[in-house]
Structure 1
Amino acid sequence: MCATVLAANILVQFPFEPFGLADYLTFGAFTYPFTFLVNDLTNRRLGPVRTRRVVYVGFALAVALSAAFATPRIALASGTAFLTAQLLDATVFNRLRRRAWWMPPLLSGFISSALDTVVFFSLAFAGTGLPWQSWALCDYAVKLLMIGIFLGPYKVIIARMPVWQPPGVRA
C-alpha cells in the first residue's frame, strides 16, 4: 500500500506526455488505483477493522516518505485524500459485503475514487497555474477504468482466499 502511494506521489509530478496528454494526465494516474484493489482485498480477507489499521499505517508511512521524495504540498494533499478516501472505501465495501462479488469493489471504488480525486487535486495543485482540473477529470476516468479492469484479478484472488465473517456469523 505504502509503496503504491509513494510511487503515485512521485509520478503525479510528471505530466503524461505520450499522445499529447500532458494537459490531461500525470503518470500517477496509473499507479494510485492499485491502492483501492489492496484495500478491497484486505477488507474481503481481514475485515473492516484490520483494513482501517492498514489504512492508518499506510497513511503515516506514505506521508512521511512522500514528504521526503515528493513535495510537502503533495504529501499533505495525498495524505488527506488517501485517509478520507480509503476509510470511505472500507466503509462502503463493508456495507456491500454480502452483495454480488463485484458490487463492493466496484461501487466503493467509484465513490471513494471521486472523493480522493477532488481532495487530492484541489489541495495539491489549486492556485499553481497547472491544468489540475483536467488532470483531475482524466485521473478519475483512469481510476474508473482500472477499477473495472481490476475486477478480473479481484475475482481470481478472492476465489482463492477465505472470506472474513463478522464475529458470531457462521458461513
Structure 2
Amino acid sequence: MSQPSASVRFAPLTSTSLMLAVLAMGAVVLASNVLVQYPLNDWLTWGAFSYPVAFLVSNLINRRFGPQAARRVAWAGFALAVVLSIWIASPRIAAASCLAFITAQLLDITVFDRLRAGNWWRAPMVATTCSATVDTAIFWSIAFTGSALPWISWAFGDLAVKLAIGVCLLVPFRALLWKMAPARI
C-alpha cells in the first residue's frame, strides 16, 4: 500500500477556498436531498446525478490541501448540510443524508490519502467507489426502509449511476490535477 500524505507538502487552505468548497458541498447535498425525492423510474432517482460531485470536491481539496483540510471541508459541509436538509427535506431524509454524507466523506478522504501516491486515477476512483457504496447503503436503508417505495431497486440504480458518474468525473479531476497537485518534499 502507498504511503499516506506524510511525505507531501500541501498548500495552505485559504478562507476563500474553504468557503467555496463548503458552499459546493452544501449545494450538492441540498440538490441531492431534493432530487432523491423524485424518481426517474422504478430503479433510479434524480439524486444519483448530483451527489457524486461531492466526492469530486473532496478529492480535489484532498489532493491540493491535504486530508486535514479535506476533513475541515467535510465537517463544515456537514454542518451546512444539516441546516439545509432540515429546512428543505423531510426529517428522515435529512437524518439519513447527514449520517451517510459524513461517514462517506471521511472514508473518501482516508482512502484517497492512502492511495495518493499511485497512478493519478487510482486514489479518486477507489475512494469514490468505496464511499459511494457506503453512502448508498447508509442513506437508502435509513431514508426509506419500511416504506412502500421500491427503495432497494432505487438504491442499486443510484449506486450504478454514482459509480458511472464517478468514472466520468475522472475527466475534470485530471483536467484540474495540474493545478491541484501538492509539492513533493
TM-score strictly above 0.5: yes
Q: Structure 2 unaligned runs (5+)? A: 1-24
Is 1:91 the counterpart of 2:100? The answer is no
Q: Which has the higher strand share?
A: 2
How far apart, in 2, do the equivalents of 1:71 and 1:58 lie? 19
Give the match's secondary structure for 2:44: coil
Q: Is the contact made by 1:47 and 1:164 (CA closer than 8 Å) also made in structure 2? A: no
Structure 1 position 161, deviation (Å): 3.0
Is 1:135 the counterpart of 2:159? The answer is no
Is 1:14 the counterpart of 2:38? The answer is yes
Q: Is the contact made by 1:40 and 1:93 (CA closer than 8 Å) also made in structure 2? A: yes
Is 1:153 the counterpart of 2:177? The answer is no
Q: Counterparts of 1:34-113 in structure 2 under 5 Å? A: 34-113=53-132
Runs of 4+ in 1 over 6 A off after TM superposition: none
User: What percent identity do the matched residue pairs reach?
Assistant: 52
Q: Is the contact made by 1:93 and 1:105 (CA closer than 8 Å) also made in structure 2? A: yes
Report the TM-score, using the length of structure 2 for normalisation.
0.85
Structure 1 position 164, deviation (Å): 5.7
Distance 1:63 1:164, change over 3 A: farther
Report the TM-score, using the length of structure 1 for normalisation.
0.92
Structure 1 position 138, deviation (Å): 0.6
Q: Structure 1 unaligned runs (5+)? A: 17-21
Residue identity opposite 1:29 in structure 2: A
How far apart, in 2, do the equivalents of 1:143 and 1:78 lie? 15
Structure 1 position 63, deviation (Å): 1.3
CA deviation profile, 1:8-58 (whole Å, cap 9, x unmatched) = 001100111xxxxx2111111110010000000010011000100100011
Counterpart position of 1:19: none
Count of aligned pairs: 161
Structure 1 position 162, deviation (Å): 3.9
Cα RMSD (Å): 0.9
Counterpart position of 2:27: 3
Q: Which structure exhibits the higher relative contact order, with contacts defined as CA atoms closer than 8 Å and separated by 6 or more residues?
A: 2
